[in-house]
Amino acid sequence: MSLPENSEIRKIFLANRNFPSNLWMEDLFMLLRPLVISRIKNFKKFLHFKDLEQEFSVALWTAIKTFDCQRHFDFYRWANWYFSSASRDFQKKYRPLKSINLGDSDVKRQYDVVLASEVLSCKSLTSAEKNIVTMTLLEGMTLADTGSKLNLSVERIRVLKERAILKMREYGE
């Protein structure tokens, strides 16, 4: 399904701007929903995919509600500003898994507890995957140390860790 052209969006706004109900806005939102999906694909490093999708959906709804078609702005540029704002806010809330570099030990300990609960609550992970993620991310063990402890090769540990992280992203927690 392709997205409508800016001229088509402008026509929708002009035709419905005096309409008292928001039903046309909801229809336009559903028509532009693929725009949200295409934007969140740029954020694969985040585990909180559902939260990101929700933030971007709110940004799209806000863009639709605040867009003024009579000012001759390009709707996609208008929406992009709201997506950028939502993206910045989201990145402040959530950090990607691979960049855990916290200086304060108390903050790092709190982050580790949150991450550990996410790992343990992810029902799609096997016990081996949970162990590997816990050892490498929470305990800071290298892949070689984890492999020697579990009697697995470094490459096997790397594959299982990546698979676990992908499962956690799909799980959305």
Neighbours of 164 (CB within 10 A): 24
Angstrom distance (rounded) from CA 93 to CA 146 = 30
For residue 92, with 0-12 CB atoms within 10 Å meaning exposed, 13-18 middle and 19 or more buried, which class applies?
Answer: exposed
48 contacts 94 by C-beta, under 8 angstroms: yes
Task: Provide CATH code, domain 6-93.
Answer: 1.10.1740
- pLDDT at position 44, please? 62
* Residues forming CATH 1.10.1740 domain(s) in the chain: 6-93
H helices within 17-153, ranges in order? 23-40, 49-66, 75-93, 105-121, 127-133, 143-150
Closest CA to 56 of 20, 89, 31, 104: 89
What is the average pLDDT across 1-30? 79
86 contacts 59 by C-beta, under 8 angstroms: yes
* Residues forming CATH 1.10.10.10 domain(s) in the chain: 105-171
Q: What's the pTM value of the predicted model, to 2 decimals?
A: 0.50
Closest CA to 24 of 6, 7, 11, 39: 11
Confidence bin at 156 (pLDDT 50/70/90): very high
- pLDDT at position 155, please? 92
Angstrom distance (rounded) from CA 170 to CA 18 = 42
What is the domain class of 105-171 according to CATH? Answer: mainly alpha
Neighbours of 83 (CB within 10 A): 20
* pLDDT averaged over every residue in the chain: 77
- pLDDT (tens digit per residue) in 102-151: 455 555 556 656 666 666 677 778 888 888 888 887 777 888 999 999 99
**pLDDT above 50 for 99:** no
